[in-house]
Amino acid sequence: MADAHAEKELVIFGLGHHGRMETVRRTERPSSELYKQRAFAKYAEAGFNELDVKGFGNDVPVIKGKYDGRKIGFCAIPYGLSYSWAMTEALKTAKAAVGIGFCGAVREDIKPETIILAREAAISSVATPNPSWKEKLTWGKSDKILTDAIASKIRKAGYETVEGKILSYINIAYGNEEFFRQAQENGFLGVEMETASLFQTANFEGVPVAAILIVSDNAREKSPYKSKKHFVDLVHELEDKGEQVKMEDIARNALLEVFKGK
């Protein structure tokens, strides 16, 4: 049980891919001592101190440290909707949280490397695209003040940004044009697998939350979405350019600004 009097931390979730931790995770198991050493080095370079690895089992590493005297945790959530339990554990001691991940754009005018700020996110409980998916949605919402602060910092950094609804789907509907046409008609900007679970869990726990999603490609195009491997390759290209680490730093600074003294 969490100590009610302990200082609550600011939490940044890597959704599917994990910012500074990801390049280490590609070659080292999160439970290994080498992973710990290399991950610590990356966060120490970024100005963190008092670093420690906590983790929820072998699959969900959590790195905790201090930045400007404030406790911040980084929780690496694997792909999909099945790790909401880990989100719940991390949020028990959280003051506020931001999720950072990737998504496929639903609208054709939203280009790769655009940043989508999720104001709302919905989970569809229908595993295969069919006409009933729109009636099977459950929703979660982001915190307006935190999302506004992140939006301001991202735009000042020169990124193309859109804001709106995200669809978190049980499986990736590769190139299913009819499904994505319906998603666009219902106001969704992008599709991925984790954000709605984060929002719903944070809403239940009473924790302010936001999400930053980097567009990897257009989900309506069949060719890039032939396989999960191809999607991962696209995401790794963006990670190698440092996009997720930049968003991680923006999220950290927005959290520190909004929750200064709180």
User: Does 27 map to a domain?
Assistant: yes
> Could you tell me the residue range of the domain that residue 161 belongs to?
9-258
Give the integer Cα–Cα distance in Å for 256 and 243: 20
Is residue 200 in a domain?
yes
The stretch 205-224 carries a mean pLDDT of: 83
Give the count of domains, the chain: 1
Strand 188-192 to strand 49-53: parallel, antiparallel, or no bridges (unpaired)? unpaired
Q: Per residue in 162-203, pLDDT tens? A: 999 999 887 666 567 777 888 888 899 998 889 999 999 999
Q: Residue 233, Cβ neighbours under 10 Å: how many?
A: 12
Q: What is the pTM of this model?
A: 0.89
Sign of CA dihedral 56, 57, 62, 65: positive
Would 56 be classed as within a structural domain? Answer: yes
On whether residue 4 sits in a domain, the answer given is no
242 domain residue, yes or no: yes
On the CB side of 247, CA atoms within 13 Å amount to 34
| CATH classification at residue 14 | 3.40.50.1580
Kindly state whether residue 108 falls inside one of the protein's structural domains.
yes
Is 3 among the domain residues? no
Report if residue 150 sits inside a domain. yes
